[in-house]
Amino acid sequence: MLERLRDVPWGDWDLAYGHAGSRVQLMREYLRRSACWADAFGAEKLWPFFDIGRHIDPEVRAAPEVTAALDDFVDNTIGRRTLEETCRGAVHWPAFRQGTSFALPDLPDPYEPLLLMFERGGGFYVEEMIDLDGAAVPQGQLSDHLSPIPVVTLDSAALDALDDA
């Protein structure tokens, strides 16, 4: 997971603009998934950009060497709290899924849409809207995104079609 983040073209405005359509839908899907996880575990006040696994079971984290490399990456590359928190959550997520003793609901991986969005042009900023470096998504409230129905399929061809539209 950390390697995926290291390979992200952070700050590539041309790539971000070229994928504006899919990036908007991927952010919306992340907001939906994050809302479902927050609702399931009483984390509404932490929503939308938080380390979901740490909230549920703070004892289960990635290996210390991965955590150290993640800290170095975040400190030297990211620089924005919302991005830092979601990057940390995404890297620790696989260890959490494998190591937690909590019964987890049948909900999809919350971070995959965000990772795909990053890979299609980097990060985002949060002000009045979530700025995706060329497009914007209203953050709204958790209840605006709490839905069992996916916003977008994570299939590459479908995402490319959104960018071509």
Mean pLDDT of the chain: 94
Q: Give the per-residue pLDDT at 133.
A: 81
At 92, the pLDDT band (50, 70, 90 cuts) reads very high
Tell me which residue of 110, 116, 107, 111 sits closest to 154, measured CA to CA.
116
Domain ranges of the chain: 2-164
**Residue 101 φ then ψ, to 5°:** -100, -5
**Can you tell me the mean pLDDT for 92-120?**
97
In this predicted structure, the answer to whether residue 58 has a pLDDT above a threshold of 90 is: yes
Confidence band of 19 (pLDDT split at 50, 70, 90): very high
Mean pLDDT, residues 153-159:
95
Span 81-105, average pLDDT: 95
pLDDT at 134 over 90: no
Going by pLDDT thresholds of 50, 70 and 90, the confidence category of residue 81 is confident
- Residue 136 pairs in a beta bridge with 131
| CB-count exposure of residue 3 (10 Å: 0-12, 13-18, 19+) | exposed
The mean-pLDDT minimum among 80-84, 85-89, 146-150 falls in: 80-84
User: Above 80 in pLDDT, residue 98?
Assistant: yes
Q: What is the mean pLDDT of residues 150-164?
A: 94
Q: Angle between the 156-164 and 20-40 helix axes, to the nearest 10 degrees?
A: 130
Inform me whether the pLDDT recorded for 128 exceeds 80. no
Contacts from 159-164 at CB under 8 Å and sequence distance 24+?
159/19, 159/22, 159/25, 159/26, 159/116, 159/120, 160/22, 162/21, 162/22, 162/25, 163/18, 163/19, 163/20, 163/21, 163/22, 163/120, 164/21
pLDDT, residue 129, reads 83
